[in-house]
Amino acid sequence: MHVFGSTCYAFVQNAKKLDDRSRKGVFVGYDKDSPAYLVYHPETNKVKKVRCVKFFDNFKTEPEAYNDDQDELIVPNRKHVETTVNTNEQMDENAGTAEVENNAARYPTRTRNKPRYLDQPIIDDNVNRTVDYCFRAVDIPKCYKQAIQSLEANKWQNAMNAEVSALNDNNTFELVPPPKDRQTVGGRWVYAVKIGQNGEETHKARSVAKGYSQIPEIDYQETFAPTARMSSIRTLLQHVMQNDMIIHQMDVKTAYLNAPIDCELYMEQPEGFEEHGENGEKLVCKLNKSLYGLKQSGRNCNNLLHEYLQKEGFTQSQADPCVYVRMIDSKRCVIVIVWVDDIIIAASHFELLTTVKESLGERFKMKDLGKLSWFLGTEFKCKESCIEMNQKQYIEKVLLKFGMADCKPKPTPCVLGIEKVSDEAAPHRQLLRSYVSPTIQRKFPEMHNAQ
């Protein structure tokens, strides 16, 4: 509540750049029909309703004094002030020192410490894996030199040989002299160890372009590429069980290398696999296909799959652009969900499923993974009465990373006794972010029973 007649400043709507943002007025009451203030402006002799009002209520309080000897705040009365003045008059010889002490007493200083919960979290460095559900990110070489000098040099060399072979098989580029009127995009090797459903590790190497050096409107146009929603995948699983359908999955090998490039681009040759011209001159790669790292590669790959599925008679869903349906008749249909290079196929009959697989295999280099069992780090178990989904591997890595592998289950994540909370720094923010992925994006109930 504010005092009637107090000075206030009402916010001015639609003010111009150099106009005042508020106008001085007098508070005269509250509006009965809205949460607004009634402000009287003497210069216009009008009362206006204003929602945003700043008040400056003048309440006089006695000044506070600080006593160093008692370490407490004292609010002096009038007699105490007079006594203090008389005492100061008797100390004229120490006037300079007294003035400094009075300033220190008036503006006391204190040591400000950062709250302990803002300290850097302590994480066990012995854990050699992150909480990523399908990749190992520690002990991974960051460049070609580290790869060939590591303990796993043979595995990395085989992975790079396979990548270069795939580039040549797909006619991804052709070697030409460097152009004089175009900028050459840089390239580098990216390494990763992919973890399978049973914990097996696969060493992978990619020759990628440094897309950050591309020039807009010259080296690329559009870059957006959709991905399927997790809700669409869950809906498809429910539809499969209700209609007794068959669900399988496939993987497109080197998916980006299948899509043609939409701009004229030149890139450096992969490190360690350089070739020179007949006279020893330097050569660069003129790209014929999209390559990993380019800004438009994801969109080009998605457009290629979209055009192929439409030619095969599939209709794109209006609710999710990565869901395609082909209705043969009222009892036969095929549903396809695309997630970059991972494809889920659900068919009402096994013959339709086989036909779609063979068609995809003729157009792209595909890997048939059989029944749906492992998709985006999630394990699927197809049974007669249901399809079970879990993220056990992901949850175990989260618990291992934060030192909770041997913890006991709790009926609630809340703290039962606040006095039992430890003051030691804990990586609670990372733990909460790791928890969000399975609970919100996938909504798996087993997260609440994780041990």
d(CA 397, CA 429): 16
Report yes or no on 72 lying in a domain.
no
If asked whether residues 180 and 276 sit together in one domain, one would say yes
Kindly report, residue by residue over 37-92, the tens digit of the pLDDT. Answer: 999 999 999 999 999 999 876 555 444 444 444 444 444 454 444 444 444 455 55
Cα gap 379→391, rounded to integer Å: 6
Residues recorded for the chain: 451
- Looking at the fold, whether 217 and 279 belong to one and the same domain comes out as yes
Among 304, 318, 380, residue whose Cα is nearest residue 346: 380
Encode pLDDT of 131-187 as tens digits: 444 555 557 899 999 999 999 999 999 999 999 998 998 899 999 999 988 889 999
Tell me, yes or no, whether 67 lies in a domain: no
When the pLDDT of each residue in the chain is averaged and rounded to a whole number, the result is: 80
In a domain, 62, yes or no: no
Return the structure tokens found at 401. Answer: 């990373």
Where among 35, 55, 75 does a domain terminate?
55
Q: What integer is the mean pLDDT of 178-205?
A: 87
**DSSP 8-state symbol, 451:** -
Residues 51 and 200 both lie in one domain: no
Are residues 274 and 244 both part of a single domain? no
Give the count of domains, the chain. 3
Question: Can you say whether residue 203 is alpha, beta or left, with left for phi > 0 and alpha for psi between -120 and 50 degrees?
Answer: beta
In a domain, 121, yes or no: no
Q: Are 249 and 369 in contact (CB under 8 A)?
A: yes
Q: Which of 2-11, 134-143, 210-219, 354-363 has the highest mean pLDDT?
A: 354-363
182-191, pLDDT tens digit by residue?
889 999 999 9
Rounded to a whole number, what is the distance in angstroms from the first to the last CA of the chain?
53
Q: What does the DSSP assignment read for 103-160?
A: HHHHS--------GGGSPPP--TT----S-SSEE-SS--SSHHHHHHSTTHHHHHHHH
User: Which candidate, 8, 42, 45, 38, places its Cα nearest to that of 24?
Assistant: 8
Classify residue 338: in a domain, yes or no.
yes
Q: Please say whether the beta carbons of 293 and 285 come within 8 A.
A: no
- Token readout for 202 is 């696969």
Parallel, antiparallel, or unpaired for β 53-55 and 135-136?
unpaired
Residue among 392, 300, 313 nearest 341 (CA): 300
Q: Does residue 266 share a domain with residue 174?
A: yes
- Rounded to whole angstroms, how far apart are CA atoms 358 and 356? 6
Q: pLDDT for 387-430, tens place per residue?
A: 888 888 888 888 887 778 887 777 766 655 555 444 444 566 66
* Of 184, 203, 88, residue with least CA distance to 140: 203
What radius of gyration, in Å, describes the C-alpha atoms of the chain? 35
282 and 309 assigned to the same domain: no
202, 335: one domain? no
Say if residue 140 is in the same domain as residue 273: yes
Are residues 184 and 247 both part of a single domain? Answer: no
Domain-located, residue 96:
no
Residue 260, strand partner residues: 289
Q: What is residue 448's predicted lDDT score, i.e. its pLDDT?
A: 37
Residue 430 placed within a domain: no
328 domain residue, yes or no = yes
User: Do 235 and 339 sit in the same domain of this protein?
Assistant: yes
Range of the domain at 344: 230-257+297-405
Name the domain boundary from 15, 39, 55: 55
Q: Is there a single domain that holds both residue 310 and residue 324?
A: yes
Query: Strands 46-50, 53-55: parallel, antiparallel or unpaired by DSSP?
Result: unpaired
In the structure encoding, which two tokens stand for residue 136, read together? 């190992």
Q: Is the pLDDT of residue 231 over 50?
A: yes
The answer on 234 and 137 residing in a single domain is: no
Say what the pLDDT of residue 400 is.
82
Lowest model confidence (mean pLDDT) among 163-167, 278-282, 288-292, 431-435:
431-435
Q: Among the residues of 326-411, which ranges form H helices?
A: 350-363, 392-401
